């Protein structure tokens, strides 16, 4: 009975957290039912970073899969490169991963590949590590029967579209070094990775930079804010959410 009650509490906690982050209107009955099943069957927690919501669907994270493997006492994971499908010169890599659930398990195999065309701009240059992570994720998803895709497998398609808000960031410098794009990408990555409300982040950013609009902020101010936001989200996401929620009710145009 205690185990059943704990399961219900975990489901309620996950749903409550999802509503606070995504908004109740963004959670369709289908998404809510999927969240219940993912919580009940696998113990995945959105608050712990096991799950992300993107484009109307749930995605499991590498963190969530590793945590699940630890809870299930996974015996081990063997990873090896596949040389015939790899080309270091063109930053193209492929890996095979085998997950062993127990000492006698024959192994669950997963393959992962990565190259500059199918990874986010945020991780270009790290294609080998992305390919290994994708292989491990696929092996673990097979081993534990998780049907939803992992966010790391989505790759370039997970890039957030450029919105009107992006125009408020300081423009790219005339020397064309691309740093403006990098700052914007990093900000969107932090927002997406930690499921933060973009409008609340924008309000917080204007306060942090001591400006009326983000257009008035210098590049250095925005870079400092993104670094601060990322660090706080990693160390204490709940405290960050409390800070962001303090901007609820403010007029959107005030930023």
Q: Could you tell me if 149 and 123 lie in one domain? A: yes
Q: Could you tell me if 178 and 225 lie in one domain? A: yes
Q: Number of folded domains in the chain?
A: 3
Q: Who wins on pLDDT, 174 or 155?
A: 155
Q: Could you tell me if 65 and 50 lie in one domain? A: no
Q: Could you tell me if 165 and 252 lie in one domain? A: yes
Q: Could you tell me if 166 and 236 lie in one domain? A: yes
Alpha carbon 176 to chain centroid distance?
A: 29
pLDDT band at 217 (very low <50, low <70, confident <90, very high): confident
Q: Could you tell me if 117 and 171 lie in one domain? A: no
Q: Could you tell me if 72 and 42 lie in one domain? A: no
Query: What percentage of the chain reaches a pLDDT higher than 70?
Result: 85
Q: Exposure of 70 by Cβ count < 10 A (0-12 exposed, 13-18 middle, 19+ buried)?
A: exposed
What is the residue range of 98's domain? 61-158
C-alpha distances in angstroms, 2 versus 9, 39, 68? 10, 16, 21
Q: What pLDDT does residue 244 have?
A: 82
C-alpha distances in angstroms, 62 versus 152, 219, 222? 7, 32, 29
Q: What pLDDT does residue 250 have?
A: 55
Q: Could you tell me if 83 and 35 lie in one domain? A: no
Q: Could you tell me if 7 and 74 lie in one domain? A: no
Which residues are CB-contacts of 253 (< 8 A; sequence separation ≥ 6)?
Answer: none
Q: Could you tell me if 50 and 130 lie in one domain? A: no
Q: Could you tell me if 193 and 148 lie in one domain? A: no
CB of 186 closer than 8 Å to CB of 230: yes
pLDDT band at 122 (very low <50, low <70, confident <90, very high): low
Q: What pLDDT does residue 106 have?
A: 96
Q: Report pLDDT digits (tens) over 16-68.
A: 988 888 888 888 999 999 999 999 999 999 888 899 888 788 999 999 999 99
Averaged pLDDT for residues 200-227: 86
Q: Could you tell me if 170 and 255 lie in one domain? A: yes
Domain end, chosen from 158, 179, 207, is at 158
pLDDT surpassing 50 at residue 195: yes
CA dist., res. 189 & res. 199, Å (int): 15
Give the predicted TM-score (pTM) of the model. 0.64
Q: What pLDDT does residue 161 have?
A: 44
Q: Using alpha carbons only, what angle is made at residue 56 by residues 15 and 181, rounded to the nearest 5 degrees?
A: 110
Domain end, chosen from 130, 158, 186, is at 158
Averaged pLDDT for residues 115-127: 83
CA dist., res. 143 & res. 73, Å (int): 12
Terminal Cα distance for the chain, rounded: 50
Tell which residue, 74, 72, 22, 27, has the closest CA to residue 47.
22
Domain end, chosen from 58, 80, 103, is at 58
Q: What pLDDT does residue 68 have?
A: 97
| 3-state SS assignment for residue 168 | helix
Q: Report pLDDT digits (tens) over 131-164.
A: 999 999 999 999 999 999 998 888 655 444 444 4
């Amino acid at each position: 009975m205690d185990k059943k009650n704990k399961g219900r509490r975990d489901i309620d906690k996950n749903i409550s957290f999802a509503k606070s982050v995504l908004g109740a209107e963004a959670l369709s009955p289908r998404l809510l039912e999927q969240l219940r099943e993912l919580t009940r069957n696998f113990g995945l927690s959105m608050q712990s970073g096991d799950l992300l919501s993107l484009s109307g669907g749930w995605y499991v994270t590498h963190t969530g899969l590793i945590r699940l493997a630890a809870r299930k006492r996974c015996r081990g994971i063997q990873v090896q490169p596949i040389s015939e499908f790899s080309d270091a010169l063109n930053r193209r890599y492929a890996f095979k991963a085998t997950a062993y659930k127990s000492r006698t398990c024959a192994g669950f195999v997963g393959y992962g590949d990565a190259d500059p065309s199918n990874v986010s701009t945020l991780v270009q240059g790290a294609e080998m590590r992305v390919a290994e992570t994708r292989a491990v994720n696929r092996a673990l998803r097979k081993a534990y029967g998780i049907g939803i895709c992992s966010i790391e497998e989505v790759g370039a398609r997970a890039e957030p579209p450029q919105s009107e808000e992006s125009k408020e960031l300081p423009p790219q410098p005339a020397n064309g070094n691309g740093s403006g794009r990098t700052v914007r990408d990093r900000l969107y990555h932090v927002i997406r990775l930690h499921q933060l409300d973009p409008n609340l982040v924008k309000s917080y950013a204007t306060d942090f930079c001591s400006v009326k609009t983000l257009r008035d902020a210098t590049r250095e101010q925005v870079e400092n804010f993104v670094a601060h936001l990322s660090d706080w989200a990693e160390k204490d996401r709940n405290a960050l959410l409390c800070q962001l929620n303090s901007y609820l009710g403010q007029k959107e145009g005030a930023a």
